Amino acid sequence: MAMKIHPQEPARLELAQLPTPVVKLKQLADIAGVERVLMKRDDLTGLEISGNKVRKLEYMVAEALEQGADTLVTHGGFQSNHCRATAAIGARLGLRVRMVLRSDDPDPPWDGNLFLDRLFGAEVSYHAADVYRSQLDRLICEVMEQERAAGRRPYFFPVGASVPLGCWGYVRAVAELAEQVGSDQPLDIYCATSSAGTQVGLMLGRALLGCENWRILGVPVSDSVEYFHSELRKLERATVERFQLDLSPEETPIDLVEGFIGPGYAIPYPEAVEAIRLLGSSEGIVLDPSYTSKAMAGMLATVKRQPAERQPLFLHTGGSFGLFACRGLISGEG
Ligand SMILES: Cc1ncc(COP(=O)(O)O)c(C=O)c1O
């Protein structure tokens, strides 16, 4: 059993393969014209239970089991990485999984993450984007009620597990990374930001664990920089309050790299597709179409403008299965 990284750290169920490696991307650094680029391979937290969500789910699942849950209920887009990881965890732990998925297609192709959701035995329902957006609370309540009426004990995970409990996943990742690269060097950590729990966890970990020379640079992939300034602060404040952390959130810097959402969430654009091709052909690493490709495009455009003494590190948050659902993008047929 791993030691606590902070006295307030809540209970955790070990699900991820940790520590994930930190690797040098030599070819990419040469192409980008910088001395060194590091990558933390959180896409390797597992195969089925892979990516950044797993670190958050370790805490959420511990709480679910502690409360005697036998069913996990969650929601997201029909290619959601979070939902796929939840489905795999459910199968592994013998828990039932229900998911409310956003899809304008009432019968979306069984590919990528959705294929795996079905393989892992999750029960899914699809809802058009406008219904999903405007009636999500009702949809979730209905599923919870159906489960309770059937005598089961459902536990609900909000989108991306980006709630105060889930944020501990990336507080712990900071401790792990500090062991690997040291906490003193000027490190610029780039990550994709969407439901915000990854970036908030990193920001809190940086502050709590004394890594003040690090900068956490979130690349928004779903909403504006203004939106994320307020969401990140809100989630950070909620986490500080719930766990009574000795921190003043207003003093934690929020760094966001603007301009890499493209036409919208999960809609690819040429620089992001190019990032997928580049990492594949120069490093043999798979990026995903919605998150890591856009974050990588953001990092590559930014690193050249940074002082040479700052060491860039890309946090690969996973999502690789999503690429299979849009293979036409890369083959040129999409
Ligand atoms: C592969 C991948 N990377 C990054 C993110 C963004 O992380 P967060 O939702 O914690 O901001 C997500 C999920 O939304 C994801 O699935």
pLDDT at 308: 78
Is it the case that residue 313 has pLDDT exceeding 80? yes
Is the C-alpha dihedral spanning 179, 39, 218, 54 positive or negative?
negative
pLDDT at 1: 64
Ligand 1 atom closest to Cα of residue 318: 1
| Top-tier CATH class for 22-51+162-331 | alpha beta
Q: Kindly state if the Cβ of 51 falls inside 6 Å of ligand 1.
A: yes
Residue pLDDT, tens place only, 147-161: 999 999 999 999 889
CA 314 to chain centre: 13
Average pLDDT over residues 6-32: 96
> What's the chain's Rg over C-alpha atoms?
19
Task: Please tell me the distance between residue 257's alpha carbon and the centre of ligand 1 in angstroms.
Answer: 15
Strand partners of residue 299: none
Average pLDDT over residues 102-108: 95
Task: Indicate the pairing of strand 123-127 with strand 215-220.
Answer: unpaired
Is it the case that residue 327 has pLDDT exceeding 90? no
Residue 109: pLDDT band (50, 70, 90) is very high
Every domain range in the chain assigned CATH 3.40.50.1100: 22-51+162-331, 53-161
pLDDT at 104: 95
Is it the case that residue 334 has pLDDT exceeding 60? no
pLDDT at 259: 97
Residue 16: pLDDT band (50, 70, 90) is very high
Q: Mutate which of 202, 288, 291 to test ligand 1's pocket (most atoms within 8 Å of Cβ)?
A: 291
Rama region for 40: left / alpha / beta (φ>0; ψ in -120 to 50; rest): beta
pLDDT at 332: 72
Please provide the CATH number assigned to the domain covering 53-161: 3.40.50.1100
Q: Kindly state if the Cβ of 79 falls inside 6 Å of ligand 1.
A: no
Residue 304: pLDDT band (50, 70, 90) is confident
Q: How far apart are the first and last CA of the chain?
A: 46
Residue pLDDT, tens place only, 159-180: 889 999 999 999 999 999 999 9
**Rounded Cα–Cα distance for residues 303 and 280 (Å):** 20
Residue pLDDT, tens place only, 27-67: 999 998 889 999 999 999 999 999 999 999 999 999 999 99
Q: Is 41 helix (H, G, I), strand (E, B) or coil?
A: strand
pLDDT at 224: 96
Is it the case that residue 190 has pLDDT exceeding 70? yes
Is it the case that residue 129 has pLDDT exceeding 70? yes
C-alpha atoms less than 13 angstroms from C-alpha of 296 in its C-beta half-sphere: 33
80 is catalytic: yes
Is it the case that residue 326 has pLDDT exceeding 90? no
Residue pointed to by tokens 């949809």: 139
Residues of the chain with pLDDT > 70: what percent? Answer: 99
Residue pLDDT, tens place only, 206-238: 999 999 999 999 999 999 999 999 999 999 999
Residues of the chain with pLDDT > 90: what percent? Answer: 90
Residue 17: pLDDT band (50, 70, 90) is very high
Task: Please tell me the distance between residue 220's alpha carbon and the centre of ligand 1 in angstroms.
Answer: 10
Active site residue: 80, 103, 162, 222, which one? Answer: 80
The predicted model scores a pTM of 0.97
Task: Please tell me the distance between residue 333's alpha carbon and the centre of ligand 1 in angstroms.
Answer: 26
Residue pLDDT, tens place only, 236-262: 999 999 999 999 878 899 999 999 999
